[in-house]
A and B are shown apart, each in its own frame.
Chain A
Amino acid sequence: MNSLLILDDEHVVRQSFADYFEDNSWNVVQAETAEQALEILETEKHCAALVDIRLPGIDGNMFIREALERNIKMAFIICSGSPSYCVPADLQNHANVSDTFFRKPVENFAALELDVRQAIAAAG
């Protein structure tokens, strides 16, 4: 079973993602902060992470970099509510980071799920 880490400080948004993926048979773990997510990843292994960028403490970009540095093998899909956000070049070109960047609100969950799957496949 595919497992997904959802990192978002906005509880309602995080829960809506979690509900959808759980309904579609994903093993979902939630983290409110990047620190919390890193802690989880120390003990658990997940196929992919859906990452919000604006977070209290370490932001989404730093979280991905940190995770990559720790050689954690998983796919990262970025989803942000900020309209001016652009994926930094180092992350954009990384194989483990999805090419598609999702903007909140996400209207089409099916498309998102498909992208997550593709990203996991791409990350190997």
Chain B
Amino acid sequence: MAQKRIAIKLVKTSVAIAFIVGLLLSALQVYRDYLQEEKALSQVVNRILKVAERSATASVHTLSEELSKEVIIGLLEYDFIHQASIVDDLGNLLAEKKRPQIESSKTQWLTSYISEQYQHYSIELYPPSVNADTPGKLIVIVNGDTALASFYSRSLVVLVSGIVRIIILVLLLFLAFHFIITKPLTKLSHEFKALNPKDLNAKLHTPLGHDDDEFNFLTESANLLIGANHQFIHELTESNAEIAESESRLKTLVETIPDLIWLKDPNGLYISCNQYFERFFGAKEAEIVGKTDYDFVEKSIADLFRAKDRAAMDAQQTTANEEEVVFADDGHKALLHTLKTPMLDTQGNLIGVLGIARDITEIKQTERNLQAAEERYGTLISNVPGITYHCACDAHWTMAFISDEVESITGYPASDFIGNTVRTYASIIYPEDEKLVDEAVQLGLNKHRPYIIEYRIITVNEDIKWVYEKGKGVYDNNGKLERLDGVIIDITERKHAEVEVGQLRNYLSNIIDSMPSIIIGVDIEGTVTQWNSGAEQSMKLSTKEAVGQPLNEVFPRLASEMPRVKEAIISRQQQNDKKRSYLNNGVHAYEDVNIYPLIGNGVEGAVIRVDDVSEQVRLEEMMIQSEKMLSVGGLAAGMAHEINNPLAGMMQTSNVMINRLTNKNVEANKVAAETAGTSMEAIHDFMEQRGIIRMLSAIHDSGERVAGIVDNMLSFARKSDDAYTTHEISDLIDKAIELSSTDYDLKKQYDFKSIVISKEYEDDVPLIACDSGKIQQVLLNLLRNGAEAMQEAEVEHPEFCLHTYYDVDQNSVYISIKDNGTGMDEETRKQILEPFFTTKPVGEGTGLGLSVSYFIITENHGGVMTVESELGVGTNFIISLPVSNSSQ
């Protein structure tokens, strides 16, 4: 191909040049030929016309058509004249002849292109004798084509011969080129092509016949190049081997480095990466190469990576950053410290970004831990609420180091003490405590134990502060005391607090003792831990004696409360036992027991509070009683009128009946008896015999009883109108006894005088303002009841104990009426004051007596009436009446 290309190129060039040059030359020659031909034609035509002029003029002059014809014919003898005509001076055509139209020639197009096919020539004809203004004319039309025919044929020969010459020249040149240049070149190139680059001895040979021309030079140059190439290849091979080895080492290095290493081109396409990096993407290197971050991680993260890449590339230097990433292979999170370095080729062009990332998660964590530990330690040290020191064991306690805290405690800066610059530590110790400190330190050192001292120091403000010091000796390798290390803590507040606690304890125990309640602390075993003065008084047992003893021994009546105590401790809930009744010296008393568990402080136990509520219970009972009676009173008041009227009807009528049946003094009775044919005496006898008088009396008595009941009931509601007068209470009692004895003697066949009455009237009993009648009614009632009770019980030695005394605190006079009858049980005792309650057989008592008595004492006189009784022993009614009776 090469040889063809060269040959064709050469031929093309030669032909083109020869053609253009030859044609230009030929054309120039033809043009000049044409110009001469044209000039020659014009001269020929003009000469012909000159020749024909005389004949033509003559023909015009004579107007001879014959002559004209002759001229014309003569003219047409020239083959190039196409047409000829003669015109006279008047414009008349004298003669004309036109060559017959011959076939159009092949050159006609060329002629009409370069010239005109028909050219007009004319001359004016002036005949000599004629003086005319207008001459005649001889007109000739020349056929250019015909005229130029010879020119055309000449030109053709010139052109054709020129072209042929050129072609021959080209062929010859082609052959010359082929043999002189193309062929040896082809041969050389074939040889070059066939050359084995590894054959160190291979070389080119100069084509034959070119030993001294450029081909030889070319061959030799090529051989030199080949030799150099061999050398180069050799060196290249060697260096390749070295590179491969180095690369292998590098690869091993890269793979074994516990870092992520990758290389990306400027567009972010991965070029390479190591195994560790593969784990990050969870793909093999082969899969990663050629892809971008966007193919493996979320867009936001990939954006970040790209931004960092660009930053490194823009900065043209290594940039570092930390990234929190997730490994795709096992999903573990890691904090990476990444270095991104722009990679440049030798020309300094950017070829990519090298990334190296190190997993610093653990390092970071360790760092953080360390930091936290340091902070803690630092905080700990700075928060030590005391002075730390190193000092010499000498009389001054010379400080080698003392922490700044010393200033906040003593008011002296630390620098004062170090090396005893301004003052010694010994100088601020309270003088009285110096010896104590000295001894304590020496004791600790002797025993090789830490020393602990509490002593006082004097601050800059001359305040005395308490400090706590703990320290120990530090010894060198030879066992020699080097220094003392220790801490000193301000315990002034604690000391104050201790004093306060002591005071508080005292205060609390005073409060506990001042309470009227019995307060006893017990542990879970029931052992007494606390015993207040209330308990001391109640049990006649001092705190010392009671504490540590079992509760059931020192306070027997609380023994039954132990299950509640345990329940309180376990459930941590307060336990109550309200209105517990017990016998206090034979008298019923009541107490509330509250048990509070002790919660917290590691103390298992309870506090038992016992309050005497006997008085409260009694008051409550009385209140209830009063309420009942008042309601009975209200009922009675409403009923009384309704009962009294029929009762009046019954009783008054019976009275009238008795009067009419028995009274002989009434005139009407006598008259009526006589009218009936009898006498009052007879009627009386009859009634006596038939017991009618007794019956009437029964009616009357029964009516009286009803009236009495109504009256008694009314007394619950009615306030006495009687004025109060002052009386000696003992007088009232004596009168009542007297009345009782007479009363009972008659009706009950019971000798009241057989009852022993022991009186115990105290001297200081003041006078009492009261309704004496009502009080006597009460006393009578009580004595009567007591006597009846003793009679029923058939007591051998019935006895009344009457006791009066004055209670200064209550400002009340007390009357106690005590019998030794059957007594009563608790149930009866509670009901005894209720209206209509009676222990007597039906018909023997209204059941209102005691209630009325109670009402008189409590409601009318503002006093108190209580009953104490024990079955088989006796009953004691206690009445108290206030001395300053302002209620009435």
Contact = CB atoms under 8 A, between A and B. Distances in A.
Interface stretch (A62-70, A87-95, A103-111, A116-124): A103-111
Interface stretch (B58-66, B177-185, B387-395, B664-672): B664-672
Interface stretch (B398-406, B608-616, B653-661): B653-661
A16 interface: yes
A53 to B, nearest CB: 10
Contacts of B663: 23
**Which of the listed residues A103, A107, A109 has the most CB atoms from chain B within 10 Å of its own CB?**
A107
B4 interface: no
A16 B700 CA distance: 14
B644 A16 contact: no
Interface in A37-60: 54
Contacts of A109: 652, 655-656, 659
A106 to B, nearest CB: 6
Interface range, B side: 20 to 34
B645 A19 contact: no
Contact of B644 (A19, A20, A24, A105): A105
B650 to A, nearest CB: 8
B656 A23 contact: yes
Interface in B663-701: 663, 666-669
Contact of A16 (B636, B653, B666, B669): B653
Contacts of B587: none
A12 B668 contact: no
Nearest to B639: A83
A55 B415 CA distance: 115
Contacts of B659: 20, 23, 109
Given A20-B659, A104-B648, A82 B667 contact: no
A78 B386 CA distance: 103
B763 to A, nearest CB: 42
Contacts of B646: 10, 12
A106 B669 CA distance: 22
A35 interface: no
B667 A25 contact: yes
Interface string A1-37: 0000000001011011101101111000000000000
Interface string B26-68: 0000000000000000000000000000000000000000000
Interface range, A side: 20 to 34
A27 to B, nearest CB: 13
B572 interface: no
Contact of B718 (A13, A15, A84): A84
A103 B669 CA distance: 28
B637 A105 contact: no
Contacts of A15: 653
B518 interface: no
Given A20-B656, A20-B659, A105-B707, A83 B641 contact: yes
B100 interface: no
A106 B652 contact: yes
A81 B637 contact: no
Contacts of B644: 81-83, 103-105
B647 interface: yes
A2 to B, nearest CB: 15
B633 to A, nearest CB: 10
Interface in B395-449: none
A92 B668 CA distance: 36
Nearest to B663: A23
B207 interface: no
A17 B645 CA distance: 13
Given A10-B648, A16-B656, A23 B707 contact: no
Nearest to A17: B652
B651 interface: yes
A103 B651 CA distance: 13
Contact of A82 (B640, B652, B653, B711): B640
B79 interface: no
Given A16-B655, A109-B659, A23 B669 contact: yes
A98 to B, nearest CB: 18
B706 to A, nearest CB: 9
Interface string B73-106: 0000000000000000000000000000000000
Contacts of B636: 83
A15 B651 CA distance: 12
A15 B645 CA distance: 13
B649 A10 contact: yes
A7 B637 CA distance: 23
Contacts, number: 82
B647 A105 contact: yes
Contacts of B704: 107
A10 B714 CA distance: 22
Given A22-B668, A23-B660, A107-B651, A84 B637 contact: yes
A80 B704 CA distance: 17
A23 B666 contact: yes
A81 B655 CA distance: 17
A105 B652 contact: yes
Contacts of B653: 12, 15-16, 19
B840 to A, nearest CB: 25
A83 B707 contact: no
Nearest to A15: B653
B450 interface: no
B480 to A, nearest CB: 114
B23 to A, nearest CB: 175
B703 interface: yes
**Which of the listed residues B645, B669, B711 has the most CB atoms from chain A within 10 Å of its own CB?**
B645
B637 A24 contact: no
A113 to B, nearest CB: 11
A34 B416 CA distance: 120
Interface string B357-381: 0000000000000000000000000
Contacts of A17: 652
A95 to B, nearest CB: 23
A25 B660 CA distance: 13
A83 B669 CA distance: 35
B703 A19 contact: no
B653 to A, nearest CB: 5
Nearest to A82: B641
A24 B666 contact: yes
B666 A83 contact: no
Nearest to B653: A16
B645 A13 contact: yes
B656 A19 contact: yes
A105 B669 contact: no
A19 B651 CA distance: 13
A50 to B, nearest CB: 12
A109 B655 CA distance: 8
Given A23-B659, A23-B668, A107-B704, A16 B652 contact: yes
A81 B639 CA distance: 10
Nearest to A25: B667
Nearest to B636: A83
Nearest to B711: A83
**Which of the listed residues A25, A83, A104, A107 has the most CB atoms from chain B within 10 Å of its own CB?**
A83
Contacts of B641: 54, 81-83
A20 B718 contact: no
B718 A10 contact: no
Given A23-B656, A84-B637, A107-B655, 14 more contacts: A10-B646, A16-B653, A20-B656, A23-B660, A81-B641, A81-B644, A81-B645, A82-B640, A83-B711, A105-B644, A105-B647, A105-B650, A107-B704, A107-B707
26 contacts: A10-B645, A10-B646, A10-B649, A12-B653, A19-B656, A19-B660, A20-B652, A23-B660, A23-B669, A25-B667, A54-B641, A81-B640, A82-B640, A83-B636, A83-B718, A84-B637, A84-B718, A104-B648, A105-B647, A105-B648, A105-B649, A105-B651, A105-B652, A107-B704, A109-B656, A109-B659
Interface of B: 636-637, 640-641, 644-653, 655-656, 659-660, 663, 666-669, 703-704, 707, 710-711, 714, 718
Across the A-B interface, give the 6 residue pairs with the lowest CB-CB distance, nearest first. A12-B649, A81-B644, A105-B648, A16-B652, A104-B648, A105-B651
